[in-house]
Amino acid sequence: MRMHNVFRARLGIGWRGVLRRFTAGAILIVSLLGVATAEADRHVLVRDITTITGVRNNPLVGYGIVVGLKGTGDSSQTQFTTQTLANALRRMGVQLSPALALMVQTKNVAAVFVTATLPPFAQSGMSLDVTVSSVGDAKSLEGGMLLLTPLQGPDGQVYAAAQGAVTLGGYSFGAAANLKMVNHATVGIISEGAIVERDMAVDLSRLTTVSFLLRAPDFTAAKDIANAINQEFHNEVAVALDSRRIDVSVERSGVGSVPLLIARVQNLAITFRPPAKVVVNERTGTIVMGGDVKLSPVSVLHGNLSIDVTTTFAVSQPPPFSKTGETVVVPETTVQAKEGPARSIQLAEGASVEELISGLHAIGASARDIVAILQAIKAAGGLQADLEVL
């Protein structure tokens, strides 16, 4: 058993937060994403930080079968594959009795889910890439052919149909202990394997207002976008309704075409101020921090406490010529406790995250140590940013 790392954080005068972390019996492998110092403000295009209301992708999904496998399909225990194959044969005019259907071997067939993304303004006849994923116990989809599969949207309507040869990004050979597998052999793609069957084009000429939505809500960014649009058209054509939505009047803009209006707005540049935020994934020890995150005056002490428990086994034998004694194995346990000297760093007012990380690395803190220290600093009020723990 091994316990280590005691952290304490102090803001101003007096201790405010103490956080202790103990990790037992494990070797931790963690990675810390380095964060380079960047300018607080940067110029970005409107198209990079916004979307347009109603212009979005739509997920499609379907259920089908892949045939032509070389004995790597679903086993006979996967009953829904047998039922699916029987239904496909019935549609082709081949009638199977229930007793015969149970005898069908499906080792060359695999039941799959087929997924695709329907882009905005999709029209009938467009081609889509599809992903094919096994839902049974198939070992590999290599060399398989997807039979005609209808793809449905969230409303249950069919929007596309998929069929074609499956291409894998990996392979699987052998069996049991001699199995060699690279990547996922049960997931493949069919490039341009689906054809759009329903026209999804939107008539933009009927729009009177175009709404732009910020990917991340920000009142300042919404105001700046509205101001940039008004300056571009020399008229009050845009208004920021909230922290995410900016409405643009098509009539006031004086542009006869909505696509031209959208193109002009999307190519406008604004000064974007990224929010001060720290994102921590405590499970993996990954930390991502914005370069503009600032700290209040703070001191961090990092110590090391370890307890080693060692068990050895000794053989205990009875005295010579003993009639009742027996030889036994006796465990002997030794406990040793070691505590290293505490190491500290001090940061002045307005210190950056880069300075904090450099100081923590200097005292030998790991990525998981930094997670605990950041939580303690946030609790003490010394971190001037949002801390999000995943």
**What's the pLDDT band for 6 if we cut at 50, 70, 90?**
very low
- Nearest CA to 223 out of 276, 274, 270 is that of 270
pLDDT for residue 112 is more than 80:
yes
d(CA 143, CA 68): 7
Cα Rg of the chain, angstroms: 32
Lowest mean pLDDT among 84-98, 259-273, 304-318: 304-318
> Which of 172-176, 179-183, 212-216 is predicted least confidently?
172-176
State the chain's mean pLDDT as an integer: 78
| 46-54+203-272 has CATH 1.10.3470 classification | no
- pLDDT > 90: percent of the chain: 35
Q: Is 150 helix (H, G, I), strand (E, B) or coil?
A: strand
Choose between 159 and 353: higher pLDDT.
159
User: Could you tell me the residue ranges of all domains in the chain?
Assistant: 6-40+277-309+335-389, 46-54+203-272, 58-196
Taking 90 as the threshold, does the pLDDT of residue 228 lie above it? yes
174 phi and psi angles, rounded to 5 deg: 90, -170
What confidence category does residue 14 fall into, taking pLDDT thresholds of 50, 70 and 90? Answer: very low
Structure tokens at 120: 């905005």
Give the tens place of pLDDT for each residue, 279-292: 887 777 777 877 56
What is the model's pLDDT at position 12? Answer: 35
Print burial letters for 104-142: b (CB count within 10 Å at least 16), e (below 16). Answer: eebebbbbbebbbebeeebeeebebebbbebebebbbbb
Interatomic CA distance for residues 308 and 335, integer angstroms? 6
At a CB cut-off of 8 Å and minimum separation 6, what does 176 contact? none
Q: Say yes or no to pLDDT of 10 above 50.
A: no
pLDDT tens, position by position, 123-164: 999 999 999 999 988 888 988 999 999 999 999 999 999 999
Q: Tell me the mean pLDDT in the region 172-176.
A: 57
What is the C-alpha to C-alpha distance for residues 49 and 70, in angstroms, rounded to an integer? 48
Angle at 226 between CA 388 and CA 40, to 5 degrees: 45
Compare 341 and 162 and report the one with higher pLDDT.
162
pTM of this prediction exceeds 0.75 = no
Q: Cα–Cα distance between 203 and 210 in angstroms, integer?
A: 13
CA separation for the pair 306, 337 (Å, rounded) = 6
Mean pLDDT of 48-72: 92
Task: Sheet with 286-289: list strands edge to edge.
Answer: 286-289, 277-281, 386-389
